[in-house]
């Protein structure tokens, strides 16, 4: 490492022991020690007042101050753990990037064939389908709400007659109200239940719901909606355009990227893993995942499935080979939360170390969320 980039994330090769995130600890250590000295002074006063049976240790060693951070665990990954500020995240592989966005426009439209289009700002995605008398919009993300009418106007002057909700989350449909008009809104019945609960005026309630399958036929266009159970959240549906051979499933597969943290906040992680496999086996040509820059291919879904498999293996091995309680402060032996935290942190660290060599250059955002994925995986393996 040169002096110029000493605060940058180093190459992952041969720098395991540098713990770049730990440098931030030392940069902050003066202020922390100052606070600890003040804290210890107060403790000393309390000790004098409370007498020889005072609660706190009077040591000035920060590692014995209750609740304070100590040394990193042995074999700590170079990937910074959760809660530590990053100097520079890993570069995004070129294979993860999509076509550029015109900064003057703020969005791009991708022709998926036969009247179906994707619109994206390269972070979130929705679609629209043109038919002879109108337009069907599929999801109205908050961040795209202003762009959707402009994007449609580039191609058609027909009105929005239908709106389909992939699921209830505001980042995907929070722009629904802003689209205006009174379209027919189609969603799964669980989405209706959740939206009633959320009572968000920006997400109007669906006017048509279904439980298993629903086929929308408008003019000569068809969309097949289907429900495959809970994974990301109840009510999240598969949307298939048979003429275009496009499958849209939101918040499950992220072409070229890590899933968002904790397997994209999957409410049912075994269900999430199963849906990735289902998507993989289905017959389609283009995949729209609702996030990141580009559409997906079967190769992208294969990569996601392989990553899921590897995380599962790495977490299972780490759970089996990490010794619970090893190195725990004996004073914490009657604190079961501390006992498990100490175990699970070491499991996650081993899981991150196992996955880093193969995956850190393969998926965008690997370093951003790998700790989250490992924590989620060890948990689902222990209790589900
Ligand atoms: Zn979501």
How many angstroms separate the CA atoms of 145 and 180, rounded? 10
* Burial grade of 248 (CB within 10 A; 0-12, 13-18, 19 or more): buried
What pLDDT shows up at residue 22? 56
The chain-wide mean pLDDT, for the chain, equals 88
Distance 169 CA to ligand 1 centre (A): 5
Mean pLDDT, range 121-147, rounded to an integer: 97
What pLDDT shows up at residue 26? 45
Distance 252 CA to ligand 1 centre (A): 9
Quick: pLDDT tens for 191-215: 999 999 999 999 999 999 999 999 9
- The Cβ of residue 17 has, within 10 Å, a number of other Cβ atoms equal to 8
How many angstroms separate the CA atoms of 144 and 378, rounded? 36
What pLDDT shows up at residue 49? 36
Distance 233 CA to ligand 1 centre (A): 7
How many angstroms separate the CA atoms of 295 and 302, rounded? 14
Contacts for 97 with CB less than 8 Å, ≥ 6 apart: 256, 293, 294, 364
Distance 209 CA to ligand 1 centre (A): 18
Distance 185 CA to ligand 1 centre (A): 18
How many angstroms separate the CA atoms of 21 and 351, rounded? 18
Torsion, Cα 297 302 303 307, to 10 degrees, reads 150
- The Cβ of residue 221 has, within 10 Å, a number of other Cβ atoms equal to 20
How many angstroms separate the CA atoms of 63 and 270, rounded? 39
Distance 146 CA to ligand 1 centre (A): 20
Distance 264 CA to ligand 1 centre (A): 8
What pLDDT shows up at residue 273? 98
Distance 384 CA to ligand 1 centre (A): 22
251 or 9, greater pLDDT = 251
CB 325 within 8 A of CB 342: yes
Residue 297: pLDDT band by 50, 70, 90 thresholds?
very high
Distance 250 CA to ligand 1 centre (A): 7
Distance 138 CA to ligand 1 centre (A): 14
List the one residue out of 23, 79, 75 whose CA is nearest residue 258: 79
Distance 170 CA to ligand 1 centre (A): 8
Distance 122 CA to ligand 1 centre (A): 17
What pLDDT shows up at residue 350? 98
Quick: pLDDT tens for 40-56: 444 333 333 333 333 33
- Name residues with Cβ closer than 5 Å to ligand 1, which is an ion: 169, 251
Q: Record the tokens describing residue 312, joined without a space.
A: 């599962």
Residue 305: pLDDT band by 50, 70, 90 thresholds?
very high
What pLDDT shows up at residue 64? 73
What pLDDT shows up at residue 329? 95
In DSSP notation, 100-112 reads PP-TTTS-EEEEE
Distance 304 CA to ligand 1 centre (A): 18
How many residues are present in the chain?
A: 384
Distance 167 CA to ligand 1 centre (A): 7
Residue 132 CA from chain centroid, whole number: 38
Place of tokens 């991150």: 352
What pLDDT shows up at residue 16? 42
How many angstroms separate the CA atoms of 39 and 292, rounded? 46
Distance 181 CA to ligand 1 centre (A): 24
Quick: pLDDT tens for 322-363: 999 999 999 999 999 999 999 999 999 999 999 999 999 999
As beta bridge partners, residue 286 has 246
313-337 burial, b at 16+ Cβ within 10 Å, e below that, comes to ebbeebbeebeeeeeeeeeeeeeee
List the one residue out of 129, 126, 159, 160 whose CA is nearest residue 144: 126
pLDDT above 90: percentage of residues in the chain: 82
């Amino acid at each position: 490492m040169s002096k110029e980039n000493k605060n940058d994330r180093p190459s992952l090769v041969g720098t395991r022991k540098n713990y770049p995130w730990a440098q931030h600890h030392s940069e902050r250590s003066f202020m922390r020690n100052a606070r600890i000295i003040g804290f210890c002074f107060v403790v000393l006063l309390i000790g004098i007042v409370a007498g020889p049976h005072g609660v706190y240790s009077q040591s000035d060693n920060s590692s014995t101050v209750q609740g304070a951070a100590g040394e990193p665990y042995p074999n700590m990954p170079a990937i910074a753990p959760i809660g530590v500020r990053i100097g520079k995240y890993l570069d995004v592989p070129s294979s993860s990037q999509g076509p550029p966005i015109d900064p003057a426009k703020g969005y791009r439209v991708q022709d998926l064939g036969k009247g179906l289009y994707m619109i994206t700002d390269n972070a979130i995605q929705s679609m629209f389908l043109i038919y002879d008398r109108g337009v069907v919009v599929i999801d109205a993300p908050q961040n795209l709400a202003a762009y959707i009418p402009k994007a449609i106007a580039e191609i058609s002057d027909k009105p929005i007659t239908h709106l389909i909700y992939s699921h209830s989350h505001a980042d995907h449909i929070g722009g629904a109200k802003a689209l205006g008009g009174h379209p027919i809104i189609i969603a799964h019945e669980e989405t209706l239940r959740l939206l009633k609960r959320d009572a968000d005026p920006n997400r109007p309630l669906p006017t048509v719901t279904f439980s298993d399958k629903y086929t929308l036929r408008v003019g000569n266009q068809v969309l097949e909606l289907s429900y495959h159970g809970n994974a990301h959240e109840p009510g999240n549906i598969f949307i298939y355009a048979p003429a275009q051979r496009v499958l849209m499933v939101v918040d499950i597969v992220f072409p070229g990227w890590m899933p968002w943290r904790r397997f994209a906040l999957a409410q049912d992680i075994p269900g999430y893993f199963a849906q990735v496999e289902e998507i993989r086996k289905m017959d389609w040509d283009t995949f729209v995942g609702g996030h990141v820059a580009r559409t997906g291919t079967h190769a992208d879904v294969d990569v996601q499935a392989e990553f899921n498999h590897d995380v599962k293996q790495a977490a299972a091995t780490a759970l089996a080979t990490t010794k619970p309680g090893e190195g725990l402060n004996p004073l914490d032996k009657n604190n079961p939360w501390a006992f498990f935290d100490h175990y699970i942190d070491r499991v996650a660290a081993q899981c991150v170390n196992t996955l880093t060599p193969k995956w850190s250059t393969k998926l965008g955002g690997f370093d951003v969320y790998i700790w989250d994925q490992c924590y989620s995986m060890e948990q689902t393996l222990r209790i589900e």
